[in-house]
Amino acid sequence: MDASSIIETLTAAVPGASFEAGASVDFPTVYVPAQHLVEACRTLREQLRFNVLIEVTAADYLPREPRFEVVYHLLSIPNRLRLRVKVRVRSNDIDGVVPTVQGIWPAAGWPEREVWDMFGIVFAGHGDLRRLLMPEDWEGHPARKDYPVQIRKAAQTYEPLEVSEDEFRANIERDRQKRAH
């Protein structure tokens, strides 16, 4: 099953939505509009039997708009097939918003919290978006490309160590003598 056959099934099941295949080197990738994500995921689970949500993550493509992509990795055990579903998310003034898929795959709860914690992408309907990786009093979302770096340190460069053949032999001999004692 390739991306085009998956898109055919999704198009028939979710009228009015437009899906597109994404570039991929490992397994099919399909872009799904955020407003049709829940319907599309329900179709993927019920009709195409993608019964396992492996992972939810995100990417920040600042300054591009839409800025974010939420990425879902799915597995169909009966079909022995993996699928990557991507959702483009605009950066509203503060946070992007995507509907939660917890109703389809309950395992989405913690990964969605992690994405919210690190990127600030809100999963509408989640019900428990609170810090998971960062302390409760942490300000901001550290995986965003515009997050201010906290450490100010000048770049360090080093000169390569050059040792002559005689110095190298002397160092080896000195090390042998140290081990012998």
Task: Give the DSSP per-residue string, 112-127.
Answer: HHHHHHHH--EEET-S
- Give residue 111's pLDDT: 96
With a cut of 60, say whether residue 32 has pLDDT above it.
Answer: yes
- Give residue 146's pLDDT: 86
With a cut of 80, say whether residue 92 has pLDDT above it.
Answer: no
With a cut of 90, say whether residue 116 has pLDDT above it.
Answer: yes
- Model-level pTM? 0.78
With a cut of 90, say whether residue 44 has pLDDT above it.
Answer: yes
**What CATH number labels 3-180?**
3.30.460.80
- Give residue 33's pLDDT: 94
Q: For 166-174, what is the mean pLDDT? A: 89
pLDDT tens-place string over residues 134-152: 888 888 899 998 888 766 6
| Interatomic CA distance for residues 95 and 49, integer angstroms | 32
- Count CA atoms within 13 Å of residue 49 on its CB side: 7
Q: For 98-110, what is the mean pLDDT? A: 95
pLDDT tens-place string over residues 14-26: 998 999 999 888 9
